[in-house]
Chain A
């Protein structure tokens, strides 16, 4: 085993995902402890140019038609053979629709330990965030190659970007025949609804809103504030708002002037989509809700007791 840290680079439709830059920054932190290099692992077809912005010592690149777009089977096979040949100290993935499909399968296939939802890797300590951000868990690199999935929050994407293109080293993908998973095509998000990533004032609702009827209250507030209603995952999964209003992982990343979070606990999957908002106001009854750790202003109060006086005063201010 060597001391190098590998990062599986994620890209979709010709663009490197932010999580890969974040993961490169986490890898750099880890490599400082192990004394190894940071190597990006890029899989694709005619995708070598995607390496140019990656802050890595070098990029290992495999070019193959079956790797043109992500599929779990082809990625698993390719990364498995690479790990088997090179035995790096650790392999980092984004804890995403791409990375999570690969990391766990390889843990079982190669009998390698897996640490998931890692937010920080400083000082050789792997700090994971679980239970919706309410619990931190600390672990260490194992004696063998350790697989790690990374979530946003600990590192900025900019720290994993570079202006000088790293050296690219080609490697051969293994035989990629008889793949059991293939991509038929992409379905673009439905156009027509508002683009919440362009709105400057967002009223976000979460599980705390309790029933579909209560969304009206948020709509009314949004009308007075000139904003738009968006939400965390449970609201969209209930079918109360369209997917176009989803903020966070698998939804939109937003940076409005004002983000008013009503009944949102602040699980990492949501926070990664709104943490960069200019002013965050959070209303939640749970004093331990992680949203209060990233909000500018916090209100520990029952939203349903607050909403009537708030609507009244906002309306007055608007008219005055």
Chain B
């Protein structure tokens, strides 16, 4: 029976406008709307798929953030057995080196066979979290994974390369895998099921002993990009825009 840990974090929702803090060194977190890192969502799906296929238990670990409890109850509704929220001085966010140390410490007592996490997150500035966790726990790491099969004390994984090429790799367990895509798209769960979990399931809150950011870069300045060149914007109502696009398509040889 495989013991699987999924490591998950909340990231800025890029659909919203992002702002820089007053110091000009980070995101303004007051107005930030957070969503689950989409690759972590795939990691959760892969963990649940493995549990359904081979039996096992899934523990999900996430640092505290706005919306994290809803997210954890959602994973419970999908089939996770245990949810852990890491609490600490996280208001200003923490870099991935600090988070990875905390994740490693929290995951260790469960003696996982497999740790799954998203291959990257949109706010990574000091590398993805997965390989750091792997090294802090002395486990091997392989990223860009889109398929996992457990065979005894090994995992057979599909690693993605450019152009659609797949490398089939054998990894000795316990190991950490950076998930690019689960074998199935993240499943949908009904809100009613999530609500039910809010009543019955419990989130285990654990205090992070120390947030140690060493190894992560410190940004001297953050800013919104100033485009060197910008598209020629086409204005008008839908009919006018359509007409202008037709002219562009003709010029480009598509009509």
What separation, in Å, do the CA atoms of A113 and B215 have in the docked complex? 4
Contact A189 B164 (CB under 8 A): yes
Partner of B132, one of A107, A257, A301, A317: A107
Residues of B within 8 A of A172 (CB): none
Contact A181 B171 (CB under 8 A): yes
Partner of A104, one of B131, B214, B225: B131
Q: How many A residues face the partner with a CB closer than 8 A?
A: 104
DSSP class of B's interface residues: helix, strand, loop or mixed? Answer: mixed
B136 proximal to A (CB < 8 A): yes
A128 proximal to B (CB < 8 A): yes
Residues of A within 8 A of B245 (CB): 281, 297, 299, 310, 313-314
Partner of B229, one of A17, A129, A293: A293
Q: How large is the interface on B (under 10, 10 to 19, 20 to 34, 35 or more residues)?
A: 35 or more
Interface residues of B in 117-138 (CB under 8 A from A): 119-120, 122-128, 130-132, 134-136
Known: A313-B246, A314-B246. A257 touches B253 (CB 8 A): yes
DSSP class of A's interface residues: helix, strand, loop or mixed? Answer: mixed
B169 proximal to A (CB < 8 A): yes
Contact A184 B254 (CB under 8 A): no
Tell which of B71-79, B81-89, B105-113, B180-188 binds the partner: B180-188
B243 proximal to A (CB < 8 A): yes
Partner of B252, one of A137, A139, A278: A278
Partner of A105, one of B131, B180, B224: B131
A-B contact count (CB 8 A): 292
B203 proximal to A (CB < 8 A): no
A292 proximal to B (CB < 8 A): yes
What separation, in Å, do the CA atoms of A17 and B161 have in the docked complex? 11
Interface residues of A in 126-183 (CB under 8 A from B): 126, 128-140, 142, 149, 180-183
Instruction: Give the shortest distance, in Å, between A38 (CB) and chain B (any CB).
Output: 22
Residues of B within 8 A of A138 (CB): 219-223
B69 proximal to A (CB < 8 A): no
Tell which of B1-9, B11-19, B191-199 binds the partner: B11-19
Residues of A within 8 A of B254 (CB): 201, 225-227, 257-258
Residues of A within 8 A of B60 (CB): none
Contact B231 A298 (CB under 8 A): yes
Partner of A100, one of B17, B42, B143, B224: B143
Contact B249 A136 (CB under 8 A): no
B230 proximal to A (CB < 8 A): yes
Known: A104-B127, A135-B27, A137-B221. A244 touches B164 (CB 8 A): yes
What separation, in Å, do the CA atoms of A15 and B235 have in the docked complex? 45
Residues of B within 8 A of A96 (CB): 162
Residues of A within 8 A of B144 (CB): 97, 100-101, 250
Interface residues of A in 182-233 (CB under 8 A from B): 182-190, 200-201, 224-227
Contact A290 B217 (CB under 8 A): no
Partner of A115, one of B126, B162, B171: B126
What separation, in Å, do the CA atoms of A116 and B159 have in the docked complex? 21
Residues of A within 8 A of B219 (CB): 128, 137-139
What separation, in Å, do the CA atoms of A306 and B159 have in the docked complex? 39
Instruction: Give the shortest distance, in Å, between B147 (CB) and chain A (any CB).
Output: 10
Q: What are 8 pairs between A and B in contact, CB < 8 Å?
A: A12-B165, A100-B127, A104-B135, A114-B97, A135-B18, A181-B172, A286-B15, A296-B231
